[in-house]
A and B are shown apart, each in its own frame.
Chain A
Amino acid sequence: MGFVSGMFMGALFGISIMAGWRYMMRNRSRNRAAKAADIKLLGSLDREDLKKLCGDNYPEWISFPVYEQVKWLNKQLSKLWPYVAEAATIIIRESVEPILEEYRPSGISSLKFSRLSLGNVAPKIEGIRIQSQKQGQITMDMDFRWGGDPDIVLGIEAGVSLPIQLKDLQVFTIIRVIFQLCEEIPCISAVVVALLSEPKPRFDYTLKAVGGSLTAIPGLSDMIEDTVNSIITDMLQWPHRIVVPLGGVPVDTSDLELKPQGKLMLTIVKATHLKNMEMMGKSDPYAVAFIRPLEKFKTKVVENNLNPVWDQTFHLTVEDKETQYAVVEVFDEDIGSDQRLGIAKLPLVDLQPDIEIEINLRLMPSLDMLKIKDKKDRGNIIVKAKYHHYTKEEQDAALAEEKKMLENKEKMRNDGVINSTMDAIDDPTHVSG
C-alpha cells in the first residue's frame, strides 16, 4: 500500500468529503431560498396568478374585490358584541358628552345622555383595504356598516325638559385608520381615525319624544340633525380627524394634525329676489357665512328688504382646499327663532390662489338634495371670493390665532354672553389671520 499513496488517497477522500458537503450546503440553501420566495408570492395572490396555478380547476367561490372580505372578523365581532357594548358604554358617555356640549345649538340649553345602551346587533365590516401612501404610515380603510337597535335617550332642556329617544340607528361609512410606525414595540406610535368623505358617511336614525311630542319644541328635530351633522363633518369627516397617540412612546403628532392651509376672503355683496316669509311687510334678511360650523360670521340685518345689499367681507380659515366648501345661509330676523330663507354652497377646489372671482349662487331650501320638497325660487346671492395660501409663518400664526379664538368663545359661552359655540360672531368688521 505504501504510506504516501495512503496519504494521497486519504487527502483525496477528505477533500471530496468537503466538496460534497459544500455541494449539499448549496443545494439546501437554494431549496430554502426557493421555498421562501414561493411562500412570499403565495402570500399575495391575485386572480391571474391563481388561474395560472390552478388551471382548469380554478375554485369558483374565490373572488378578489378591492375591499377584502373579512367574514371571520364579523363572526367574532357578533360573538363579542354584548361584552364590547357594555364596556364601551362608559367610554362613550365620558368622551361624547363633552363633544355634545361643544356642538350644542343655541336653542338648546342642555344636551346629555340619560340612557345609553348599544343594543344587540353587532356592526359589520364589509371589507378592508390596506395601502401605504407615505413612508412610515399604513392606511387601512374599513367599510363599516351598522344597522343597530340601540337604546339611546338624550335629555334635552330647551325651556321644557324633553327626553328624546334615538332609535334604529343606521351607520354606513368608510372609516380610515392611519397607523404611524416607529421602531419601538409595539411599533405603532399613533393612530389617526377619520371618515372618508367620498362616499359621504350616512348616519340615519329616527327620533321619538318620550312622553311628549317632537313638535313641542319647534325645529327641534332639525336642530338635533344639525348638531349630529356638524359633529360628524367637523370632527370626524376628512380632512378633520381624531389623532390618538398610543401610550408609552412620546411622539410628535403635529404633522398628523390638521392645520390651516390658507384663508378665504369672502365678500357677501348682495342678495336678489328673496322669498318673502312674513305675512305683513317684507323679511329682514341677514347672511351667515362659514366653512367650519364652529367659525360662523354674520352680516348686519337689512330691514324690510327682499334685495338687500350688505357688502361685508369675512376671512374664513381653510383647512383643505380640495375637499372643503364655504356655506352662505340667509336668514329672516324675527321675534323668536329666525327663519332660514335659503342656503348655498361654494366648493373651494376650483379657486385659484390670490385671484378674486365674483360668483352668483342660487339659494336652495337645504344643502341635502333629498330634502328639497318644493322647487320654488328662493333667489340668488352674489359673493366675491379670493383664496390665499399660507406660508409657514402665516400658518403658525393662524394656528395660534385659532386656538385663542376658540378659547374666547368658550369663555363667552361660560359667561353667558353667547348661548353656544356655534353662534355666529356678530362683528361685521371681524378679520382674522
Chain B
Amino acid sequence: MGFISMLLGFSGFGIGVSAGLIIGYYLFIYFQPTDVKKPDIRPLVERDSDTLQNMLSEIPLWVKNPDFDRVDWLNKFIEYMWPYLDKAICKTAKEIAKPIIAEQIPKFKVDSVEFETLTLGTLPPTFQGMKVYVTDEKELIMEPSLKWAGNPNVTVVARAFGLKATVQVVDLQVFAAPRITLKPLVPSFPCFAKICVSLMEKPHVDFGLRLFGADLMSIPGLYRFVQEQIKDQVANMYLWPRTLEVQILDPSKALKKPVGILHVKVLKAMKLRKKDVLGASDPYVKIKLTESKLPSKKTTVKHKNLNPVWDEEFNMVVKDPESQAVEFQVYDWEQVGKHDKMGMNVVPLKELAPDEPKTVTLDLLKTMDPNDVQNEKSRGQIVVELLYKPFKDEDMPTFEDAGAVPKASEKTPPGGGELVVRVHEAQDVEGKHHTNPYVRILFKGEEKKTKHVKKNRDPRWDAEFKFTLEEPPVNDKLHVEVCSASSKIGLLHPKESLGYVDISLGDVVHNRRINEKYHLIDSRNGKIQIELQWRTVS
C-alpha cells in the first residue's frame, strides 16, 4: 500500500511539475516584452558612491595606464556614424545570409527562416584607449582596447511543421584587446601590404539568448559554460600568436622588386654619320633602362669606324616590364670635350615576348619625337639582340617575410655562408666641423662604404653589403664607423669620425638575423640601426 501510494505520489508530482512549468511559463515569461529598450543613462555627476564603485571596475585603460592614449574623438566619430553603420552592416549581413539560408533550408525540412528584426542597437562600440609599439622593424603595431556593450536585437524566426520558433539575441557585450599589426611597409598607397589582427587575451563575451522568450543565458551553470566555450573557440583561432591576416596589396609588386633580367647584345652599327671634321668618328653605345636608378652600361669604343662591330653582352635587372623600355644612345668618343650624340632609339619592354630572343635593326634618330624635322636625315642603323627572361618562382630574389632568413646563393662554399650587412639609418650624429655622414664597414680587412648624405643629422642609407665566408664568423667582430667628409677646399679637417661601434658576430651566427639600434662610441647621443643576416646553403 505504501509503495503504490508513493508511486502515485511521485507520478503526480511529475505531472504536476510539468503542468506547473507550463503554467509558470505562460504566467511569467510568455508575456515578457520582446523589444529592446534604450538604456537610461544618467550622467556621472548624478550617481551615488555605490554605483560609482561598480563603475570603477570598468575604468578605461587610458585613465589607468599612461602608455595608453585617449581616443575619445574616435568614440565621438563612431557615435555620429553609428546609425548609418548599423543600417549598412545589417543590410550586408542580410544579403550574405540569404543565399546560405536558402541553401540550408531544404536539408532540414524547415519551411522558412527569416530575420524578424535585425538591428545593432543604439550603443556604438567604444575605444577605451590606444597604445602603439615602436619597434626597429618595418611595421606599425597598434593595440586598441575595444569595448562594445550594445543593445542589439537580432530575432530569427524559424517555421517548421506548423510551429513557430523564435530565437532572439540581445544585450551583446564583447570586450577585447586586439593587436593590429600593419606590415610590411611599402612605398605605394596605402603604404602597408597586410593587416594582421590577433587577440592578446581571451575576449569577454556576454549576451542573452532567448528561446521562445526564455533567456537561456540566465541559467547559472549554462551561462558560464557557454561563455567558456565561446572564449575557447575564439582563442583557438585568434589568440596571439595566431593571427587573422588580410592582404591589401601584393607585397612583391608593391615593394618594387625586380621581376626579370633583360639580356642585351649590341651587335653592330651601319652607315653612321661622320661627326668629326678630320677622319671618321669613334662610336660607342650607351645602354640604359628607363625608370631605373641603375647606372647605364657602355660598349667599348671602336675607333675610326662608321660601321663598327661590337658583339658585346650586358644584363640589366627589370622591375616593371609593362612600363620600362631599353634606350640605346650612340656617342662619338672625343679625346677632349663632350662626346657628340650620333643617334638613338628606344625599345619598350612590353614588345618583347618573355624567353624569346629577338634581333632588331633600329634606325638611329635624333629624338623619339615623331614630328621632329631633324629625324628625316639618315643617321644609320644599329643591330641589337634582346632577350627578356622573367624570374621563375625559384629564381625570384627571396622576399623576406616575418624574419625568415633566406638561403645563401649557390656560390657559397659548403660549411660557410653569406654575411649580409644592411645599414638602415642613424640618428643624432653630429660632427664638430661638418655633418655629411657616410658609413664605413671593416670586416677581416675588407672595407666597404655607403653613399654620403649631405647635411643631415638623421641620415638614412638603406644600403646592403654581402661578404662570402668560408666558415661562420663566430669569433669575429664587425667594425662600423660613421664618418663625415666635406668637399670644401681649404678645410683643416676634411674627414672626421662621428662615432663607431664594434659588433660581435657570434650572435648573428646563432640567431640568423639581428636588427638592432646600437649606441655609437665617441658620439654624444648617436645611434645607428644595423641589420645582420647569416645565410647558409643548407
Q: Which residues of A contact B (CB under 8 A)?
A: 1-19, 21-22, 24-25, 27-29, 32-45, 48-50, 52-54, 59, 61-62, 68-72, 75-76, 79-80, 82-84, 86-88, 91, 120, 128-130, 132, 136, 138, 140, 179, 181-185, 187
Q: A68-B73, A75-B134 are in contact. List 16 more A-B contacts (CB 8 A).
A: A1-B8, A7-B19, A22-B28, A35-B149, A36-B151, A36-B171, A38-B54, A40-B149, A41-B55, A43-B147, A49-B44, A52-B45, A53-B44, A68-B72, A91-B189, A187-B81
Given contacts A4-B12, A82-B460, contact A43 B128 (CB under 8 A): yes
Contact B214 A11, beta carbon cutoff 8 Å: no
The CA of A18 and the CA of B66, in the complex, are separated in Å by 49
Q: Measured between C-beta atoms, what is the minimum distance from A23 to chain B in Å?
A: 9
Q: Which 6 pairs show the lowest CB-CB distances between chains A and B?
A: A10-B16, A14-B20, A18-B24, A1-B9, A6-B12, A43-B126
Contact B72 A10, beta carbon cutoff 8 Å: no
In the complex, which residues of chain B have a beta carbon less than 8 angstroms from the beta carbon of A16? 20, 24
Residue of B nearest to A8 (CB): B16
Complex interface bits, B78-94 against A, C-beta within 8 A gives 1, otherwise 0: 00110011011101100
In the complex, which residues of chain B have a beta carbon less than 8 angstroms from the beta carbon of A54? 63
Cβ of B295 within 8 Å of any chain A Cβ, yes or no, is no
Complex interface bits, B310-343 against A, C-beta within 8 A gives 1, otherwise 0: 0000000000000000000000000000000000
From residue 121 to 171 of chain B, which have CB atoms closer than 8 A to chain A?
A: 123, 126-128, 130-132, 134, 140, 142, 147, 149-151, 170-171
Contact A18 B21, beta carbon cutoff 8 Å: yes
In the complex, which residues of chain B have a beta carbon less than 8 angstroms from the beta carbon of A36? 39, 123, 149-151, 171, 173
In the complex, which residues of chain B have a beta carbon less than 8 angstroms from the beta carbon of A68? 70-73
Q: Measured between C-beta atoms, what is the minimum distance from B503 to chain A in Å?
A: 24
Given contacts A38-B55, A39-B126, contact A18 B29 (CB under 8 A): yes
In the complex, which residues of chain B have a beta carbon less than 8 angstroms from the beta carbon of A40? 39, 41, 123, 126, 149
**A-binding segment of B180-188, B384-392, B401-409, B439-447:** B180-188
Q: Measured between C-beta atoms, what is the minimum distance from A237 to chain B in Å?
A: 24
Residue of A nearest to B20 (CB): A14
Given contacts A14-B24, A35-B58, contact A6 B11 (CB under 8 A): yes
Complex interface bits, B43-84 against A, C-beta within 8 A gives 1, otherwise 0: 111000000101110111001001001111111110011001
Contact B191 A44, beta carbon cutoff 8 Å: no
Contact B63 A59, beta carbon cutoff 8 Å: yes
Given contacts A33-B171, A35-B149, contact A14 B16 (CB under 8 A): yes
Contact B84 A32, beta carbon cutoff 8 Å: no
In the complex, which residues of chain B have a beta carbon less than 8 angstroms from the beta carbon of A48? 44-45
In the complex, which residues of chain A have a beta carbon less than 8 angstroms from the beta carbon of B460? 82, 120
The CA of A130 and the CA of B220, in the complex, are separated in Å by 43
Cβ of B5 within 8 Å of any chain A Cβ, yes or no, is yes
Could you pull out 9 A-B pairs where Cβ atoms are within 8 angstroms? A14-B22, A29-B218, A35-B149, A40-B39, A40-B126, A41-B44, A62-B63, A80-B140, A129-B73
In the complex, which residues of chain B have a beta carbon less than 8 angstroms from the beta carbon of A138? 77, 80-81
Q: Measured between C-beta atoms, what is the minimum distance from A298 to chain B in Å?
A: 39
Given contacts A16-B24, A70-B69, contact A6 B16 (CB under 8 A): yes
The CA of A59 and the CA of B206, in the complex, are separated in Å by 31
From residue 202 to 217 of chain B, which have CB atoms closer than 8 A to chain A?
A: 206, 208, 214-215, 217
In the complex, which residues of chain A have a beta carbon less than 8 angstroms from the beta carbon of B45? 48-49, 52
Q: Measured between C-beta atoms, what is the minimum distance from B390 to chain A in Å?
A: 25
The CA of A32 and the CA of B58, in the complex, are separated in Å by 13
Q: Measured between C-beta atoms, what is the minimum distance from A62 to chain B in Å?
A: 7
The CA of A54 and the CA of B185, in the complex, are separated in Å by 41
The CA of A52 and the CA of B49, in the complex, are separated in Å by 9
In the complex, which residues of chain B have a beta carbon less than 8 angstroms from the beta carbon of A35? 58, 149, 173
The CA of A301 and the CA of B329, in the complex, are separated in Å by 56
Cβ of B278 within 8 Å of any chain A Cβ, yes or no, is no
Q: Measured between C-beta atoms, what is the minimum distance from A182 to chain B in Å?
A: 7
In the complex, which residues of chain A have a beta carbon less than 8 angstroms from the beta carbon of B77? 130, 138, 140
From residue 442 to 492 of chain B, which have CB atoms closer than 8 A to chain A?
A: 456, 458, 460
In the complex, which residues of chain B have a beta carbon less than 8 angstroms from the beta carbon of A37? 39-42
Contact A1 B20, beta carbon cutoff 8 Å: no
Contact A2 B39, beta carbon cutoff 8 Å: no
The CA of A2 and the CA of B76, in the complex, are separated in Å by 67
The CA of A18 and the CA of B134, in the complex, are separated in Å by 56
Contact B88 A72, beta carbon cutoff 8 Å: no
Contact A1 B5, beta carbon cutoff 8 Å: yes
Among A1, A45, A184, point to the contact of B60 (Cβ < 8 A): A45
Q: Measured between C-beta atoms, what is the minimum distance from B124 to chain A in Å?
A: 8
In the complex, which residues of chain A have a beta carbon less than 8 angstroms from the beta carbon of B294? none
Choose among A10, A41, A80, A82 the residue with the greatest number of B CB atoms under 10 Å from its CB: A10
Contact A75 B12, beta carbon cutoff 8 Å: no
